[in-house]
Chain A
Amino acid sequence: MTIKIAVIQFPGANCDLDAVHVLNDVIGVETSLVWHNHFKEANFDGVVLPGGFSFGDYLRAGIIAAHSPALDEARIMLKDGRPIIGICNGFQILVEAEFLPGALLQNEALRFVCKWVNIKVINNRTAFTHKMNKDDVLAIPIAHGEGRYYTDNLKELEENDQIVFKYSTEDGSFTSEANPNGSLENIAGICNIEQTCLGLMPHPERASESILSPKQTIHGRIFFESMIEFIKRRLT
């Protein structure tokens, strides 16, 4: 049994090669970079929608990519419970394609922000977080201009356990200083009700090698290791 992961290359994606590098060379899972028009779900066990500026973020971040045939393929995967992760622009695409609820608005400060932040694990039962502990605080970088999460249905999200990560201080408090973009309730990442599709603004692929981490942590790896483990269990 060989697990196969696809990283979708939308025009304008720019974290695509980074995700491929981490999955192939760090995690050691067979991963292909697939041009969005060429993507066929049948060949893959899981999919990564990488960060970047798909279609230049023209119109609105993620909305044009949300209409790519790749998302129709991904929808089939969503239905049968294969894991899907959208990172940064990938998150924006998942929201625009209505895989996930809510919206991502321009950062409160109206500026792009690139820095390392802390996120706290709220839900450790998803396909991408089941190897984490609830309330773990992870060090991970963000880099976005439109990452302020908003939803009208916060209650529903909470009831369905769809809030996966919240921005926090290093010791796990949800202060406004720890919130880098003004997201509602410090929300950094959410999942679908079935817990198989995760969208988040932070970049786990940038936090998977100690050489890149200010404190030599490799918390990003756990996302991908959870995903692989999830696929293995699914397949057996």
Chain B
Amino acid sequence: MNARQHMIDAIRSMGARMAATSTGHGVERAPATARTDAVYAHGAAQVEQALASGVYMADFWMPHAHRINEVQALRARLAEITATSLLRRLHGDEADAIRLRLALIPHELVWSDTIHNLVTTEGKNAALTHLLKGSSYTASQALGLIEDTGYSAVSATNTAANITASGGGSPANGWNEAPSATVATRGTPSFGTAGSGQLATSSAVSFSTLATDTIKGAILLIRSSAGVAPTTAVGNTSGALYSAGLFSGGDQAVTASGTLNVTYTAGL
């Protein structure tokens, strides 16, 4: 008997002993010929972890005091001429001119803060569904603000369906979205190019603040697992809540005529 044959016999002998002992520990065995399919199941040691994370950065700007009235007048005119589809068609050039003029009015930074968010379970489920099963997915997001009224906590169990913006005392999510009296609508983020496992907004979402309010943080909504898109209407419950988070530096105040710029970077 040569060395190769010795090795083959040894392996067969070892396999027989392992089979004899392992059945006593509950390992299922089936004759190779009885197998018609291949099955792979991962064990705990084989799970590769992917942590969903995100960071919001927010800056609040106010115009110089002597130009607040001018900003208010320009914003009012802009709202007036962009209220309907027909008005937008008729006054498109004027709207562009007003936006440019607003952008040229000097503003001062009042405060700046960051939010390290939590990604909700509903958001993870929607992201996984569209990432791994999507065939006709059209991205759609909306970014809103959390206010202090009725606040108790943000949680991974928060959902879009439970969003409230009425300023109630016991909101289902543990927080209320900042109402339309504070910001007319949610913002619409746009995203740049993903790199190093991160994807950031290509431009800040800009909120024109309409009243004095205390802002605690921000939320991001995406298309739901069922494919329903979020809308920019404050308090709307369509879509899926992807993330929610609070300012690192505590509550932040906004006032009328200000501009709150928010960026978001998602990571996996």
Q: Real complex partners, A and B?
A: no
Q: Which residues of A contact B (CB under 8 A)?
A: none
Task: Name B's A-contacting residues (CB within 8 A).
Answer: none
